[in-house]
Structure 1
Amino acid sequence: MILVTGATGSIGRHLVGLLRDRATPFRALVRDEAKASSLGCDVVVGDFDDPASLIPAMEGVDRLFLNAGGAQPVDGEQPMIRQQKAAIDAARAAGVSQVVKVSVWHARHGGRLAEGAHWEVEEYLKGSGLGWTMLQPSGFMQNFITGAGAFSADGKLLDPYAGVPVSYIDCHDIAACAAALLTGSPGPGATHVLTGPRGLTHAQVAEELSAVLGRTVGCVALPPDELAAALRARGLPASFADDVAELSRQVATGYLAATTTAVQELTGRPPRTFAQFAAANAEALRTGLAAATS
């Protein structure tokens, strides 16, 4: 039995569909059962912030897909650290044998926001005695649907990375890699860096969006200092804004530009192109752009 956490998110929904299509026994952990009605699978109610609720959720589970929200604009420790450690503890107590965890590319000690938080969770999982596999994806293509601040008020795509490419990956491919590991023989602990087929600048992304949306989407630079100022103007903590700005400076050095063959190796097929992602999500992209400019 597989337990899927983050089942209603950008990766989890795809994973649920893949496991359902394979007739693989699984259940989804959700905080709100009503919101999970569209998943079409068995669900169990639980919350990472309520460790006691995770114990019955793990009953009979052999493999765990561990995925939770990203970095939060808070002072002090990122909530994901406490939350995912609680899930690992519950998995160990329930006798789970294997955990497939979604992390982030360049997770490292002392890293800012998600990088440092995921590193701490990775280390905790490695020391738990459970079998483990880490998935470290590049930037999500879905960020152009869900990411706040992706577009300017006049509909231009914002580029905080100084024209440097990013090897964006479709969350469907992350889910496909997870499905392969959860239903196969993952072997000893391994870390897989997942990327799309090529790096794209935001100007190139804007061209891809223009083609599928049937309208010209421009691209405008957003320097890190202006990004931080915009986040502070929205009421976010200065420390969080500064960390986001520093991460954008890192990406502008080519930090997320490289590609890997991990998706091909794990799934037997190449990763989806941005054009394929955009065509499959045209309506959601159109809706997101309209919301950004309204």
Structure 2
Amino acid sequence: MILVFGASGSIGRRLVELLPADEVVAFARDPAKGAALGCRYVVGDLDDPVSVASALVGVERVFLNAGGAVPAPGEQPMVRQQRAVIDAAVAAGVAHVVKLSVWHAAADGLLAEGAHWEVEEHLRSSGLGWSVLRPSGFMQNFVTGGGTFTENGHLLGAYGDARVSYVDCADIAAAAAVLLTGDPRPGSTFVLTGPEALTQAEIAARLSVVAGREIRYVDLPAVEFAKRLVALGVPEAFAGDVATLFADVAGGRLEGTTPDLAGLIGRPARTFDEFLAAEADAVRQVWADEVHTFE
């Protein structure tokens, strides 16, 4: 049996569709979202140890993707929650955990990079079989708004002319499915990128074509970008960390592409143009107006 955490997210809902129907169980906090997945599901809460332990009974493999870094100082809830899942998986006799992490996870990393590193370290020392997926930025961010900031209907950032090798969540799900149903490649870490790296200006131009209006990329110095985020309602400390991460990206740290994804799924990763073609309706819905709200 395979238990999927984060099953209603951009990756999880695609993953449950790829896994054998008689082997997959989704962990859902909201019963309505669980039912909408169209697969067997259990209702639970990551902050409820009893529900987590109950869901893990009879499970052999786990996809661990839940929670996220939050704009607050101190311990990130994701770290506490995912460490608890790992400990419960040990107690339940789970054989293998596939952990979704983030590219450049590191001990001194800001926000998600540091949080995921803590969980990775706990997993590596747990005694469980493990494999780790470290994706680049998600193409879906330009539809869901995750990790994306806008102002007056235009992209806002501090990337300069740096390129980012965004990856499609559908491809990440396909990679996870391979590890969850076949050889799990124990002890392996995979960096998942798209096949190309694009500047934010290039992305804005391509969004413009699909949306049917001009979308510009507004580039700012990191300090000014942080101030603009605060003006948009982002907490000051979080805005500062985001601006620092964006400045790091401006230095080229997400420009590279790797063969890991194609090697796992046995086909080329999807390009940004292919993603836009597949998600054209959603892109138009989000970006058609100059004043819009990500859902």
- TM-score higher than 0.5: yes
Q: What's the CA shift string for 1:63-92, capped at 9, x where partnerless?
A: 000001321011211111101001101111
Q: Distance in 2 between matches of 1:53 and 1:292?
A: 44
In structure 2, what residue type is equivalent to 1:125?
L
**Correspondence list, 1:8-157, <5 A:** 8-19=8-19, 22-23=20-21, 25-147=23-145, 150-153=149-152, 155-157=153-155
Q: Percent identity among equivalent residues?
A: 58
Between 165-174 and 184-193, the greater mean CA deviation after superposition: 184-193
> CA offset at residue 280 of structure 1?
1.0
In structure 2, what residue type is equivalent to 1:173?
D
CA contact (8 A) 1:144 1:150 kept: no
Q: What's the CA shift string for 1:174-194, capped at 9, x where partnerless?
A: 100000000001233100000
- Partner of 1:13: helix, strand, or coil? helix
CA contact (8 A) 2:211 2:288 kept: no
Between 125-134 and 49-58, the greater mean CA deviation after superposition: 49-58
> CA offset at residue 235 of structure 1?
4.2
**CA 1:67–1:292: 2 relative to 1, 3 Å:** farther
TM-score, normalization by structure 2: 0.94
- Partner of 1:54: helix, strand, or coil? helix
Superposed CA RMSD in Å reads 1.6
TM-score, normalization by structure 1: 0.94
Q: Distance in 2 between matches of 1:38 and 1:249?
A: 39
Q: Distance in 1 between matches of 2:35 and 2:195?
A: 34
Q: Distance in 2 between matches of 1:240 and 1:292?
A: 26
> CA offset at residue 291 of structure 1?
6.9
- Alignment: residue pair count: 291
CA contact (8 A) 2:213 2:288 kept: no
Unpaired stretches in structure 1, ≥5 consecutive residues: none
CA contact (8 A) 2:34 2:43 kept: no
**CA 1:11–1:291: 2 relative to 1, 3 Å:** farther
**CA 1:54–1:254: 2 relative to 1, 3 Å:** same
Q: What's the CA shift string for 1:140-175, capped at 9, x where partnerless?
A: 10111112653321x222232012100000000110
Unpaired stretches in structure 2, ≥5 consecutive residues: none
Between 51-60 and 231-240, the greater mean CA deviation after superposition: 231-240
2:272 to 269, 274, 280: 274
In structure 1, what residue type is equivalent to 2:78?
M
